[in-house]
Structure 1
Amino acid sequence: MTTLIVIIVLISLITPSIFLIKFAKGARAHNERNVQRKMILSSGTPAQALINSIQQTNAQVDDQPEVLLDLSVSKPEGGTIHTVVRTVIPIISIPTFQKGNIIEVKHMTIDNELKFEVVGAYIP
């Protein structure tokens, strides 16, 4: 019986610690992603993109909707690059982000991958 009580106490002490570690890792990754997004928006190469489609996800950030934007980005030398960007847009800007509209984006190569960010996106 004593062993069972010890096990229950240990589990009750360990479980919150595991949750906190996972939460801290998730928060750190989220903060790193926001730093990366801000870097792309401040130092990235500007381009224009055609919105092929927009789809709202089930997530929100500070009551602003997260969306998936299917974009065709115009390259300066001609041609286009197809990409899908997950971003949060200010609710007041929803009319700007509709299929067929042209929006401003910035891009940068990070870790050998071309990454895009939407100018005017909401970043907490």
Structure 2
Amino acid sequence: MRVLIVESSRDLALLWQRHLERLGALVETASTQDFAIRRLHVSDFDVIVLDLVLGEGSALAVADYASYRRPEARVVFVTNTTFFSDGSIFQHCANACAYLPSATAPRDLAAMVEHYAHSAAG
């Protein structure tokens, strides 16, 4: 399973990365919209873990580009805000498969990513 984590907090991205790698995932990270789009341009991913609030750029632009460039990739949105808490993210992003708080236990996030990676592959 190939996973792209798009998260401005390097510490949080590394924490999630370690948990995913324990499950055998090949993980890349990006901290900005531009870097995430560059990674999506050259690599295939099964799942993208995408923070809704990036320090640089727009998470929705990343999700939109992923929908175009990597339509098979599922997006797990994470956030520490109440944006889209009404579930409307699923209306805005066709590739959205989950919406989680950033404080979700890393092992739970990893299990969810693993589930959606297998769903995307098969």
User: Would the TM-score normalized by the shorter structure come out above 0.5?
Assistant: no
Could you state the TM-score of these two structures normalised by the residue count of structure 1?
Answer: 0.24
Q: Which has the higher strand share?
A: 1
